Structure 1
Amino acid sequence: MDDYFYQPLLLSVVAVALLQLLKLALRPATSPRPPPGPWELPVIGGMHHLVNVLPHRALRDLAAVHGPLMMLRLGQTPMVVVSSKETARAVLKTHDTNFATRPKLLAGEIVGYEWVDILFAPSGDYWRKLRQLCAAEILSSKRVLSFRHIREDEVMLCVEEIRAAGPSTPVNISVMFHSITNSIVSRAAFGKKRHNAAEFLAATKAVVGLASGFNVPDLFPAWTRVLAGLTGMTRSLRDIHRTVDTILQEIIDERRAAREAKVRSGVEGEDVDENLVDVLVGLQEKGGFGFTLTNSIIKAVILDMFAGGTGTSGSAMEWAMSELMRTPAVMKKLQGQIREAFHGKSQVTEADLQASNLQYLKLVIKEALRLHPPAPMLVPRESIEACEVAGYTVPAKARVVINAWAIGRDPKYWGKHADEFRPERFEDGAVDFTGGSYEFLPFGSGRRMCPGFNYGLASMELSLVGLLYHFDWSLPEGVKEVDMEEAPGLGVRRRSPLMLCATPFVAATA
C-alpha cells in the first residue's frame, strides 16, 4: 500500500521539477524576470507576512532575505517594495515618469471627490496643472511665511499651558504637539478654530487609515465593490465624506460671503485673502488655469492639507523630543545654543529664528526625520507600464512602495551606528531632504514628492525652540527611560504618549 502511494507521488514530484527546469531553460532571454519575493498562499498571496506586525519593519526584514527590489502579491495586487538607495533612485528619478501615478483607491474616489486632490489624482495634464497652481499659490514659501503669526500664537499658548501645569505635574507632550499642529492648520486653512474642528479632524484621521492601500477591498480590484460593502468600508467612507463635505461647504460659503463683503467695502488684493480657503475661492473666481476649479477640488485640496499637515507633523515633533530626552548630550548642546541665541527674550519669533540661523537645530530635525520619517513607507505609486529596474521587470499596474524607514536606517549608507541619534552625521551638508539624496527620503522625491513639507518644518522648528528655550525637561518620578515602542499600523506613531515634567527656565511674560 505504501509503495502504491509514495512511488507515484515521488515520480510526480520529479516530473514537475524537471518540467519547471525545462521551462526555465527554454525561456527566451528577453522574457520578463519578476523581482524575487517571499512564499505566498493561494488567494491571499503574501498578505500573511504583514499580519500583526509593523509593516515597515517586516518588509525591511523580508528585503534582507530577498533583496532591495522585492515583489509580493497582496490579494490580486502585485506590490513591489524598494529598500535601497540605488533602487529608490531608479524608481524616483530614472523611471519617475512611469511611476508617477497613484493607485485608484476607494477612499480617493469616495472621500477624495473621485481622485481630484493633489495626493491621489492620477498623473496627467490635470494633475500637473493643479500641482503648479498649488505650488505657486498655496504651498509657496511666501504663503508659509504669511502664517507665521499663527504658529507663534499657538506655540506661546502651549508654553503658557505647560507653565500653568507646574514642574511636578507630568505633561502629555504628544497631545501638546498634535494640538499645536491641528490648531495651526485649522487657522491657516479656515481663519479660526471652528466649533466642529474635533469632528473634522477625527474624520480626516479616519480617512488616512482607509487610504493606506493595504485595506482588503483595495487589494482585490476585481472585487473591491463587493468586499467594501461586506466589510463596511463603503459605509465608513460615505459617512466620512458626508462629515467632511458638510463642514467644508459651510466654510466655503462663509468665506465667499466674507470675501464679497470686503470687496464691496473697497478692500482689494492680498488683504482679501486671510486663509487658504480665501485664496482658493479667489482663484476660483479668477480662473484661467486650464481646468475648472470647482468646489469639489477646493474641498479635496483643503482635505489634503489636513491629512498631510496634522498627524504627520505632530508625530515628527514627539519623536524628535523623545530622541532628545534619550540623548542628554544632544539636548544640552541644542538647548545651550538656543538660549545663547535668544538670551533675554520673553518670546522667540520666526523672525528671531531666521536671524539666528541655528544650524544645530536643523541637524537635529534631519536626524529625527531620518530615524522616524512621517510616512515610513511613502505614499504608494503605481507603474503605468512594465519597466525594468535593477535587472528585474516590474509589471504594469504594480503598486510600488518605497520603504524610506528601512533606507534611512541602512548601515550601508549610515554606518554601524545607523540606529543611533547622532545629528552630527549631517554636518557636512551633503545629504538633504529636498529630493536629491535617495538614502534620506522623509518627504519622497520626484514628481510625487510631498509638496507641502515647508509647512510642517516651520511648525516643527518653532515648537521645538519654544519648548527647549522656556523649560528644562525631565522624566516623571519613577520613570527611568523613554519608551520608544511604535504603535501598530502603517505610521510610526508612539505606542504610548510622551509624558515629561517641565521646569521653567525663562520667566513668564508680563
Structure 2
Amino acid sequence: MNIYAYSLYPIAKPFSSVHLTFFPSLNMALPQHHSCNKPILVTTLSLVILALTKVLYRQLYIKFSLTLVPLAIIYYFFFKSSTSTVIPPGPFPFPIFGNWIKVGNDLNHRLLASMEQTYGPVFLLKLGSKNLVVVSDAELATQVLHTQGVEFGSRPRNVVFDIFTGNGQDMVFTVYGDHWRKMRRIMTLPFFTNKVVHNYSNMWEEEMDLVVKDLKKDENVKSKGIVIRKRLQLMLYNIMYRMMFDAKFESQEDPLFIEATRFNSERSRLAQSFEYNYGDFIPLLRPLLRGYLNKCRDLQTRRLAFFNNYYVEKRREIMAAEGDKLKISCAIDHIIDAQMKGEISEENVLYIVENINVAAIETTLWSMEWAIAELVNHPHVQHRIRQEIS
C-alpha cells in the first residue's frame, strides 16, 4: 500500500517552501548525490536561448538588449534558490516546466519507485514553479511526519481547493495553528468521543442491517449481480446526515439524496481532475484556467446554498424556536452554537459541512468499495474474517 502526504512547510531550513510526498518502499537505497556542472549548463543554455532569440527577433526593433532575456531566464531557474546550500538530488529541471515534461500528470507510485532507484530515498522534483520533495524511506518519513510533524501540519492548497474551501475557512485545509485547533475542538465533541460512539452505535447497526436486508430482497443478487456502490452510498449518507443534521434519506430515489450526491460527485471530479494542474504549477498558464475556475465557483455557490437552505437553516430555525429549552441533538447544533458564541463564522459552519460531505462520506465509500472488491476476489480472506468475527 502506497501512502502520500503533502506539506508546504520546510523539511529543514535548506529545504524551504517545498511539498512533501511520503512514499514508503520496501527497498531502501542509500542517499545518492547527483550534481551537475552548473556553469557549463548555464553557459550552454545561455548560448542556445540567445541564438534562438536572435533568430526569432532579428527583424524586430527592441530597445533593450535581447541578451537580457536568456540571462533573466537562466538566473531565475538556477539562482533563485541559491541561498539553499543543500537540496535533495533529482532529475534536471527544464526552464519554466521543470520536471513536468518528464512526469506530467502521471505521478504514480511506480514512477516514484523507479526514480527512487536512481536518486535515492529523498529526491526533488520541480513541477513548474513548485518544488516537490519525495521521501521513500520509512525512517526518514517518521522524522518528517512524527518528529517534525508540526512543521508539516498544514496541507498544501491550490487554485481549485481555495475555491472549494473558501481559502482555508474549513478544517481540513486551514493552516495549522490556533484556528485549526479551535476548529478541531469544535468538531471533536459531536464526532470523536466515547459518548458519540455509545449514542450512535445502534443507529450505525440499524443502517447496516438495512443494507443486508435490501440485498437479500433483491433477486438480481443471485442472478445478474448488482452494483453495490449506490446502496453503500445511501447507507453512508444516512449515517453522516443523521449524525450531522438529524435527517435521513428515504431511498436512492429521494430527490435530496440525488441532489446531494450529484453536487458532491461533481465537486470531487473537478477537485481531483488533472485538467487544471498545468495552471496551478505554471502561473504563466493560469489565465487559461479562467473557464475551469468559473465552473468550480458556480458549483460551489450552488452546493453551499443547497447545504444551507435544506439543512443548516432548518436547524437554526429549530434552535431559535426551542430557545432556552433547546436540547442539542446533532453535530450541526454544536457547530452553530459555537458560531453563535463568536468562536467561528457562518462561513466556517458551511465549510465544515463541506468537509464532512467529502472527507467523511466519499472517501469512506471508496475505501469500502475497494475492500469489498478485494474480499470478493479473495475468498480465503473472507473465511479468515468470518473466523475472527465469530
Instruction: Give TM-score scaled by structure 1 length.
Output: 0.54
**Residues 52 and 103 from structure 1, CA distance in 2 versus in 1: closer, same or farther, beyond 3 angstroms?**
closer
Asked if residue 332 in structure 1 is aligned to residue 383 in structure 2, the reply is yes
Matches within 5 A, 1:489-500: none
- 1:159-215 superposed Cα distances (whole Å, 9 cap, x missing partner): 122111232231223333333223322332222236333333333333344445962
Asked if residue 207 in structure 1 is aligned to residue 270 in structure 2, the reply is no
Conserved? CA contact 1:38–1:72, under 8 Å: yes
Q: Pick from 284, 289, 294: which aligns with 1:228?
A: 289
Conserved? CA contact 1:324–1:330, under 8 Å: yes
Conserved? CA contact 1:111–1:240, under 8 Å: no
Asked if residue 81 in structure 1 is aligned to residue 105 in structure 2, the reply is no
Q: Give, in angstroms, the shift of residue 302 of structure 1.
A: 1.3
Measured in 2, the distance between the counterparts of 1:35 and 1:200 equals 45
**What secondary structure sits across from 2:152 in the alignment?**
coil
Measured in 2, the distance between the counterparts of 1:117 and 1:314 equals 21
Asked if residue 67 in structure 1 is aligned to residue 120 in structure 2, the reply is yes
Indicate the residue corresponding to 1:16 in structure 2.
40
- 1:411-452 superposed Cα distances (whole Å, 9 cap, x missing partner): xxxxxxxxxxxxxxxxxxxxxxxxxxxxxxxxxxxxxxxxxx
Q: Which amino acid aligns with 1:162?
A: L
- 1:318-357 superposed Cα distances (whole Å, 9 cap, x missing partner): 222222233322211322443xx4xxxxxxxxxxxxxxxx
Indicate the residue corresponding to 2:247 in structure 1.
192
Q: Pick from 233, 243, 266: which aligns with 1:178?
A: 233
Indicate the residue corresponding to 1:123 in structure 2.
176
Indicate the residue corresponding to 1:283 in structure 2.
338
**Residues 274 and 18 from structure 1, CA distance in 2 versus in 1: closer, same or farther, beyond 3 angstroms?**
closer
Asked if residue 56 in structure 1 is aligned to residue 109 in structure 2, the reply is yes
Q: Give, in angstroms, the shift of residue 144 of structure 1.
A: 4.2
Q: Pick from 342, 351, 362: which aligns with 1:300?
A: 351
- 1:23-80 superposed Cα distances (whole Å, 9 cap, x missing partner): xxxxxxx962211223443322222444464623332332233222221111111111
Indicate the residue corresponding to 1:320 in structure 2.
371
Q: Hey, which of these two has a bigger chunk of helix by percent? A: 2
Measured in 1, the distance between the counterparts of 2:167 and 2:42 equals 50
Conserved? CA contact 2:97–2:282, under 8 Å: no
- 1:203-239 superposed Cα distances (whole Å, 9 cap, x missing partner): 3333344445962232135764x2431xx22112111
Q: Give, in angstroms, the shift of residue 294 of structure 1.
A: 1.5
Asked if residue 249 in structure 1 is aligned to residue 311 in structure 2, the reply is no
Indicate the residue corresponding to 1:492 in structure 2.
none
Conserved? CA contact 1:186–1:192, under 8 Å: yes
Q: Pick from 80, 88, 100: which aligns with 1:35?
A: 88
Unpaired stretches in structure 2, ≥5 consecutive residues:
1-36, 45-82, 250-254
Q: Which amino acid aligns with 1:33?
A: V
Measured in 1, the distance between the counterparts of 2:140 and 2:365 equals 30
Conserved? CA contact 2:190–2:331, under 8 Å: no
Q: Give, in angstroms, the shift of residue 122 of structure 1.
A: 1.3
**Residues 200 and 90 from structure 1, CA distance in 2 versus in 1: closer, same or farther, beyond 3 angstroms?**
same
Measured in 2, the distance between the counterparts of 1:140 and 1:86 equals 32
Measured in 2, the distance between the counterparts of 1:126 and 1:18 equals 45
Indicate the residue corresponding to 1:110 in structure 2.
163
Measured in 2, the distance between the counterparts of 1:252 and 1:48 equals 46
Q: Which amino acid aligns with 2:346?
A: N
Conserved? CA contact 2:127–2:281, under 8 Å: yes
Matches within 5 A, 1:358-437: none
Q: Give, in angstroms, the shift of residue 146 of structure 1.
A: 2.9
Measured in 1, the distance between the counterparts of 2:103 and 2:119 equals 16
Q: Which amino acid aligns with 1:309?
A: A
Conserved? CA contact 2:168–2:174, under 8 Å: yes
**What secondary structure sits across from 1:103 in the alignment?**
coil
Asked if residue 219 in structure 1 is aligned to residue 243 in structure 2, the reply is no
Measured in 1, the distance between the counterparts of 2:356 and 2:42 equals 57
Conserved? CA contact 1:69–1:82, under 8 Å: yes
Q: Give, in angstroms, the shift of residue 255 of structure 1.
A: 0.5
- 1:447-486 superposed Cα distances (whole Å, 9 cap, x missing partner): xxxxxxxxxxxxxxxxxxxxxxxxxxxxxxxxxxxxxxxx
Q: Which amino acid aligns with 1:198?
A: I
**What secondary structure sits across from 1:172 in the alignment?**
coil
Measured in 2, the distance between the counterparts of 1:210 and 1:234 equals 9
**Residues 59 and 296 from structure 1, CA distance in 2 versus in 1: closer, same or farther, beyond 3 angstroms?**
same
**Residues 56 and 66 from structure 1, CA distance in 2 versus in 1: closer, same or farther, beyond 3 angstroms?**
same
Measured in 2, the distance between the counterparts of 1:149 and 1:309 equals 19
**What secondary structure sits across from 2:85 in the alignment?**
coil
Q: Give, in angstroms, the shift of residue 245 of structure 1.
A: 1.6
Q: Which amino acid aligns with 1:16?
A: I
Number of positions where the alignment pairs a residue of Structure 1 with one of Structure 2: 306
Measured in 2, the distance between the counterparts of 1:275 and 1:105 equals 32
Measured in 1, the distance between the counterparts of 2:360 and 2:210 equals 19
Q: Which amino acid aligns with 1:199?
A: E
Measured in 2, the distance between the counterparts of 1:15 and 1:109 equals 40
Q: Give, in angstroms, the shift of residue 308 of structure 1.
A: 0.7
Q: Give, in angstroms, the shift of residue 99 of structure 1.
A: 2.0
**Residues 262 and 236 from structure 1, CA distance in 2 versus in 1: closer, same or farther, beyond 3 angstroms?**
same
**What secondary structure sits across from 1:154 in the alignment?**
helix
Identity across the alignment (%): 25
Measured in 1, the distance between the counterparts of 2:317 and 2:172 equals 29
Q: Structure 1 residue runs of 4+, over 6 Å off?
A: 17-20
Q: Give, in angstroms, the shift of residue 295 of structure 1.
A: 1.4
- 1:257-316 superposed Cα distances (whole Å, 9 cap, x missing partner): 11223346x4x4xxx23322222112223x2xxx63221101111111111112221121
Q: Give, in angstroms, the shift of residue 240 of structure 1.
A: 1.8
Measured in 2, the distance between the counterparts of 1:237 and 1:198 equals 20
Measured in 1, the distance between the counterparts of 2:242 and 2:92 equals 49
Unpaired stretches in structure 1, ≥5 consecutive residues:
1-12, 21-29, 342-510
